[in-house]
Amino acid sequence: MSYKIPMGPYHPALEEPYKLDLICEGETVRDAKLHIGFNFRGIEHLAETRNYIQVIALMERVCGICSNIHTLTLCQSMEQLTGLTPPPRALYIRVVVAELERLHSHVLWAGIAAKLMGFKTMFMTCFELREKVMDVLQAISGNRVNYSMNRIGGVNRDIDDPLAVLAMVQALEREMVRTVIPIFTTSSTARSRCAGIGILTREKALSCGVVGPTARASGLPQDLRRDAPYAAYSEMEFNVPVQPDGDVRARLLVRALEIMESCKILRQALTKMPPGEINTGDAKIVFAAGTATSRVEAPRGEVMYSVSWKQDAKNPSRVHVRTPTFANMPSVRWMVLGARLADTPLIQASIDPCYSCTDR
Amino acid sequence: MNLWNRLMCFSRRRSPWLFHMNSGSCNGCDIELIASLTPRYDAEQLGVRLEGSPRHADILCITGPVTRNSVQAIKTVYGQVCGPKAVVAIGSCPATTNVFIDSRTLDGPLNRHLPVDVFVPGCPPRPDAIIQGIAAAAGILAERAAKRWPAESVMVPMADPESACDCTKCDCTKEDKSSADTPAREVQP
Ligand code: SF4
């Protein structure tokens, strides 16, 4: 006899409000239904009532974890409409901030996953370490969450002393190698809790169209930083970690390896940073009519913005956002099929869901 | 106030348990709230703990600009927190609806629905500010406990959560609203 267990929308295992209806037979999950929309703030509609400066501040608040990625993508698509090209130093600064954001997001995810595993020590360790990443971000931008670094045609703040930031990043990397990465990769607690659960096969991953670390953990080597480089990524050297297993442990490993790759990119970007201007100045910006799209690799996968502008308009006529969680969400259903009920919070968290992005 | 009451007030001030509710926030404030409980800021030294159930909590921490979908849930959860209770609104969102102002899917700001005791403004506020806000709420909680501690503790079944927050139906001021919590709804140990 199957029965339904509703989980959420406000549930201690869920960081954000959404509802999961699990159809169970005994302890085994047979099916799952997801209800979202509790965070719906109507941002896409609001964007149509804001001018090009306000819309950046608005879009930064789509998500508090990957706030920089949203403004970066929006600015890139608006730059296509205005014909402005950011100077090279601005592109490097964008890479630095984006990678720091990826670091903090992955460490945060590790902390939350650890909490769901019941591994409270690792949760605290991860958050301790995350504070150090936040220190670097704060040193660069002055803010902890909404950095407001991007603008049309460049960035708002310069990194005055890249070498000082580099020293901080190196200290951070040592700390990562010493504490978080071993727990991720070799700890038997993490392994026994994560291995073999929430499996998403390569075929299923392809048919669901998953993106980001979820795809890479199912053996799909895709990463926009390498496949369609934006900002200064074409000048960086890095690997794209791929794991074939598709279980929660593979996702854990992919993110652990990505942390190391991010540190590598940061080191390169901070040493190679070219001198020069950081933006194209304060002249009035004229938008061409039309639609521009831009894609970037956010910590959770691919983010796409499509911005439309009408002739001589003050406000955009449409800002469309496609977030990685929107693409990854349907795959949760296939991951939890046949899983034990107790594993479902961890499995649904393993795609690193962000419903405030998805609902907007 | 007898010794027992004084002891209860003291302990309430020293161990406020939190329930965190996200009413459509962008995650920024939620992350900062969690960050304030972790080793660097360590709000747990004040006895603060994040609880999984509103029925165990003293302080309700609400983030986000209150979307239409979450209004009912907020009222229900507020009704489930046992009295005396305090509400902390974290971030500019619950205070003013922030950049989302004018959105048709919002029903904010928060004080249209609940009596808010402490506002912690900022987008997002720094963890230090959040801890300060929680400490202020703990003080309010202790005061409230001292004032309205009934002579005999009564065990009353919870009212229907739908109607639990009847203070939203009137236009009373904030002070009145807190006293609109009738003792009949409170479950005392
Ligand atoms: S106040 Fe700012 S950081 Fe907090 S939820 Fe609102 S938009 Fe996000």
Tens of pLDDT, residue by residue over A8-56, are 777 766 667 777 788 888 778 888 888 777 788 888 888 888 888 888 8
Return the structure tokens found at B149: 């501690």
A97 three-class SS? helix
Q: Among residues 7-26 of chain A, which lie with CB inside 8 Å of chain B?
A: 9-10, 12, 15-17
Rounded mean pLDDT of A258-286?
A: 83
Instruction: Provide the domain count of chain A.
Output: 1
DSSP element (H, E) containing B17: strand B17-22
Distance B124 CA to ligand 1 centre (A): 5
Q: B126 and A63 in contact by Cβ < 8 A?
A: no
Alpha-carbon distance values, A75 to A84, A85, A158, A212, A230 (Å): 10, 11, 17, 21, 12
Distance B75 CA to ligand 1 centre (A): 21
The CATH number linked to A146 is 1.10.645.10
- Structural domains of chain B ordered from first start: 3-186 (3.40.50.12280)
Residue A169 has pLDDT above 50, yes or no: yes
Q: At what angle do helices A162-175 and A248-272 cross, to 10 degrees?
A: 150
Q: How far is A102 from A299, CA to CA, in rounded Å?
A: 5
Residue A200 has pLDDT above 70, yes or no: yes
Return the closest-CA partner of residue B77 out of B177, B144, B164, B18.
B164
Instruction: Locate the chain B residue with the closest alpha carbon to A62.
Output: B26
Residues pairing with A279 in the sheet: A154
Contacts of A356 in chain B (CB under 8 A): 24-27
DSSP A279: B
Query: What average pLDDT does the structure give for chain A?
Result: 83
From the list A37, A130, A144, the residue facing B69 with the nearest CB is: A37
Q: How far is B91 from A69, CA to CA, in rounded Å?
A: 21
Q: How far is B64 from B62, CA to CA, in rounded Å?
A: 7
Rounded mean pLDDT of B150-175?
A: 41
β B118-120/B86-90 pair status: parallel
pLDDT of residue A1: 67
Residue B177 has pLDDT above 80, yes or no: no
Decide if A137 touches B, using CB distance below 8 A: no
Rounded mean pLDDT of B173-181?
A: 41
Residue A93 Cα, gap to closest chain B Cα (Å):
22
Decide if A40 touches B, using CB distance below 8 A: yes
Distance A239 CA to ligand 1 centre (A): 34
Rounded mean pLDDT of B140-160?
A: 54
Atom of ligand 1 nearest to the CA of A61: 7
Distance A238 CA to ligand 1 centre (A): 34
Task: Please state which of the ranges A285-294, A335-344, B14-23 shows the lowest mean pLDDT.
Answer: A335-344
Q: What is the per-residue pLDDT across A230-239, written as a single tens digit (0 to 9) for each? A: 888 888 888 8
DSSP element (H, E) containing A102: helix A88-117
Rounded mean pLDDT of B120-132?
A: 86
Model-level pTM greater than 0.90? no
DSSP A127: H
B152: burial class by Cβ within 10 Å (0-12, 13-18, 19+)?
exposed
HSE toward the beta carbon, residue A26, CA cutoff 13 A:
4
Q: How far is B75 from B160, CA to CA, in rounded Å?
A: 11
CB of B9 within 8 A of CB of B73? no
Return the closest-CA partner of residue A226 out of A296, A169, A324, A305.
A296
Residue A207 has pLDDT above 80, yes or no: yes
Sign of the Cα torsion B117, B118, B124, B130 reads negative
| ipTM above threshold 0.85 | no
A31 three-class SS? strand
Identity of residue A179: T
HSE toward the beta carbon, residue A82, CA cutoff 13 A:
22
Q: In terms of residue numbers, what domain contains A162?
A: 2-358
Distance A156 CA to ligand 1 centre (A): 21
Atom of ligand 1 nearest to the CA of B123: 2
Which of A61, A134, A143, A359 to mutate for ligand 1's pocket (most ligand atoms within 8 Å of CB)?
Answer: A61
Q: What is the per-residue pLDDT across A211-231, written as a single tens digit (0 to 9) for each? A: 888 888 888 888 888 888 888
Sign of the Cα torsion A277, A278, A283, A286 reads positive
Contacts of B30 in chain A (CB under 8 A): 15-16, 64
Confidence of residue A4 (pLDDT cuts 50, 70, 90): confident
CB of A258 within 8 A of CB of A241? yes
Q: Which of A49, A56, A145, A355 to mutate to test the interface with B (most CBs of B within 10 A)?
A: A145
DSSP element (H, E) containing A38: none
β A154-155/A150-151 pair status: antiparallel
Residues whose CB is less than 8 angstroms from the CB of residue B168 and which lie 6 or more positions away in sequence, other chains included: B75, B112, B113, B114
Atom of ligand 1 nearest to the CA of B100: 7
Atom of ligand 1 nearest to the CA of B65: 6
pLDDT of residue B18: 86
Residues whose CB is less than 8 angstroms from the CB of residue B146 and which lie 6 or more positions away in sequence, other chains included: B1, B5, B9
Contacts of A67 in chain B (CB under 8 A): 26, 28
Residue B170 has pLDDT above 50, yes or no: no
pLDDT of residue B156: 35
- The percentage of chain A sitting over the pLDDT mark of 70, rounded to a whole number, equals 98
Residue B172 has pLDDT above 70, yes or no: no
Most confident of A130-144, A184-198, A275-289: A130-144
Contacts of B129 in chain A (CB under 8 A): none
Q: How many CB atoms lie within 10 A of CB A207?
A: 12
